[in-house]
């Protein structure tokens, strides 16, 4: 797993270049947002179970067919698996928030997800919707904690939804 700093260094090293103004600005931005990223991670860590529970309730309220007979979250086992996956997305998004880099999402979440979801007949639409609900809840909590610029919170959740939506699952 790489973070924003190691990714930047790798890219410049591969090109055999010294840091230019863009690289310095990118590093400066990452370091300036570091405290807010760590605060956001603390907020998520302290509220993870509540975030997942709230997101699950909203998802099933908005898409009740998921928990009806024949729905993908109909049985207790499937319902629990859905909440487990939501927790999984939240945890890895938190890692990406701190790292300022999406590599962990590719390495730990997105690789192999297509095969897994295909084999289990998991619909992608509700998955993407659930991730967006989680993002909205996290942003509310982070903003309520006094962090003014929450744009870095969007990055991993939007990345997950974009990458999942592009896959033909």
pLDDT for the residue numbered 35: 95
CATH classification of the domain holding 76: 1.10.490.20
Domain holding 81, by residue range, is: 34-166
So what's the pLDDT on residue 113?
Answer: 84
Are residues 74 and 101 both part of a single domain? yes
Share of the chain above pLDDT 90, in %: 86
Residues 99, 27, single domain; the answer is: no
Q: How far apart are CA 29 and CA 72, in angstroms?
A: 42
Could you tell me what percent of the chain has a pLDDT over 70? 97
SS3 content of the chain, % helix, strand, coil (to 5): 80, 0, 20
pLDDT at 36 over 70: yes
| Predicted structure pTM score | 0.90
Distances (CA, A) of 47 to 12, 44, 58, 136: 38, 5, 16, 14
Rounded mean pLDDT of 53-80? 96
pLDDT at site 166: 64
Q: Are residues 46 and 25 in the same domain?
A: no
* Residues written for the chain: 169
13: which residues sit within 8 A by CB, 6+ positions away? none
115 pLDDT exceeds 80?
Answer: no
Q: Are residues 142 and 158 in the same domain?
A: yes
- Is residue 51 within 8 Å of 134, Cβ to Cβ? yes
**pLDDT on residue 169:** 43
Q: Is residue 121 scored above 70 in pLDDT? A: yes
Q: Are residues 27 and 100 in the same domain?
A: no
Spatial contact of 73 and 82, defined as CB atoms under 8 Å apart: yes
Do 79 and 6 lie in a common domain? Answer: no
Residue 124 has pLDDT above 80, yes or no: yes
The confidence band for 46, taking pLDDT boundaries of 50, 70 and 90, is very high
Please tell me the total count of domains within the chain.
2
Confidence of residue 119 (pLDDT cuts 50, 70, 90): confident
Distance CA 104, CA 61 (A): 31
At 1 the pLDDT is 73
């Amino acid at each position: 797993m790489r973070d924003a700093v190691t990714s930047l260094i790798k890219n410049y090293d591969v090109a055999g270049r010294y840091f230019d103004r863009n690289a310095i600005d990118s590093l400066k931005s990452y370091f300036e947002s570091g405290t807010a990223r760590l605060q956001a991670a603390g907020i998520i860590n302290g509220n993870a179970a509540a975030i997942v529970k709230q997101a699950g309730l909203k998802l099933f309220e908005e898409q009740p067919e998921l928990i009806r007979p024949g729905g993908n979250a109909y049985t207790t086992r499937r319902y629990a698996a859905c909440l487990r996956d939501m927790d999984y997305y939240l945890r890895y998004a938190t890692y990406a928030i701190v790292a300022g880099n999406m590599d962990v999402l590719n390495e730990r979440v997105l690789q192999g997800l297509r095969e897994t979801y295909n084999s289990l007949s998991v619909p992608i639409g509700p998955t993407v919707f659930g991730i967006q609900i989680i993002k909205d809840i996290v942003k509310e909590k982070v903003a309520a904690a006094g962090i003014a610029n929450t744009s870095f919170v969007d990055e991993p959740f939007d990345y997950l939804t974009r990458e999942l939506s592009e896959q033909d699952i």
